[in-house]
Amino acid sequence: MPPLVLQVFLGHERIALVRARVPIAPRHWLLGVAAIQVNVREQKPEAQLRIHSTGQGTPELRSLTTSVVHVALAEETANISPPAISPPALSLDGAAALSVSLDGEEIETVHLAQDRLDHAPLPRAFGHVFCRWLRDGEIEPGFDLTDFLSLPEGVKYERRILRTLNAGQVVSYGYAEKP
């Protein structure tokens, strides 16, 4: 079976492939990640898509406004059709929302209220789709989501969702921010 990669889509356009460089040696494993990161700056939420793989140089960064990012674990040549997912609805007092779905079925949505935009430390949330490629040919793929939390620098964020990803599955993150 050909190696599996992370196919990354912004909307329905494939924008990146995250793969392990071969050979993996001298390391025991390489990690590839597509992450949605939401931070607060100047009392406004800002989101970015960060795409990177160990040893691949500078991460690719894309600013996001209200949008949907899909990541599929599949062969590089697989023809993936991301599911029809909409960005999450904002709550009445919402400044931002981040949702995660698997194969078109929503799992969870986290919300950032307007009155939290000036908390210290500033709140942030994130979701990752990751794959660890091991030197022996095995893989350890998964995805996660955190709440919007105000934690000091260096404190580990507890995952609200942490699940294994299987070949052929598509993880979708919807992001919405107040205009």
* Token pair belonging to 69: 């990012």
What letter would DSSP give residue 149? B
CA 80 to chain centre: 17
CA 37 to chain centre: 7
How many contiguous H segments (helices) and E segments (strands) does the chain have? 0, 12
Work out the pLDDT band at 54, boundaries 50, 70, 90. Answer: confident
pLDDT at residue 24, rounded to an integer: 83
Mean pLDDT of 36-51: 97
pLDDT tens sequence across 115-130: 999 999 999 999 999 9
Work out the pLDDT band at 1, boundaries 50, 70, 90. Answer: low
For the whole prediction, is pTM greater than 0.75?
yes
pLDDT at residue 170, rounded to an integer: 98
- Mean pLDDT, the chain, as a whole number? 95
Please check whether residue 160 is in contact with residue 108, taking contact to mean a CB–CB distance below 8 angstroms: yes
28 burial (CB, 10 Å; 0-12 / 13-18 / 19+) is exposed
pLDDT tens sequence across 96-151: 999 999 999 999 999 999 999 999 999 999 999 999 999 998 999 999 999 999 99
CA 71 to chain centre: 8
Tokens 């105000």 belong to residue = 150
